[in-house]
Amino acid sequence: MAGYWVEILEQLSPRYRCSKCRLVLKDPYQTYCGHRYCETCLEDIYNLPETILYYGCTGDDDCKMELSRDKTFPDMGARRDMWPVRVLCMNDWCNWVGRFRDFEIHIQQCQKNCNDHKQQKALTRMNHVVMMRIPKSEYVHY
């Protein structure tokens, strides 16, 4: 998965957004030229077929640095800089607000709740459709 889809409740520098997906960095990596990418976004770039592989950094139009695995590194400084920032979960049924540091734990629980929520919604919808399809004359009365 690419970056985090989250609402930032404080000022956050654009340098904490991925140069590929433009979302808030998830597992940030930095290039030698100073641009940042989500780990999965870099993997997507590296895994492109040789014939269409674009090796150039997409950080900005002026950057012509070649992207390669040996010229990128995990950016723990960026990760720590983002930890105290207050964020809001973007799932429509969730009202969680907390620090970015806690967001990874929250989103795992929220995804589970999301699946439970979707399943419940699907069951409710399915039951509603089934009830609409049964003619009233066929209802069993006790």
Residue 77: its H or E element = helix 76-82
Amino acid at 117: H
- Cross-strand pairs, 37: 29
Residue 119 lies in a domain: no
Q: Model confidence over 53-74: pLDDT tens digits? A: 455 676 667 777 777 888 899 9
pLDDT less than 70: residues of the chain? 1, 5, 50-56, 58-60, 114-142
Question: Hey, which residues does 117 pair with through a beta bridge?
Answer: none
In a domain, 46, yes or no: yes
Q: If 0-12 CB within 10 Å is exposed, 13-18 middle and 19+ buried, where does residue 127 land?
A: exposed
User: Into how many domains does the chain fold?
Assistant: 1
- Name the residue range of residue 82's domain: 6-101
Judge whether 91 lies within some domain: yes
Q: How far is residue 14 from each of residues 4, 22, 37, 81, 90, measured CA to CA in Å?
A: 14, 9, 12, 13, 19
Question: So what's the pLDDT on residue 127?
Answer: 40
β-strand 28-31 against 6-8: which pairing, if any? Answer: unpaired
Q: Assign residue 86 the CATH number of its domain.
A: 3.30.40.10
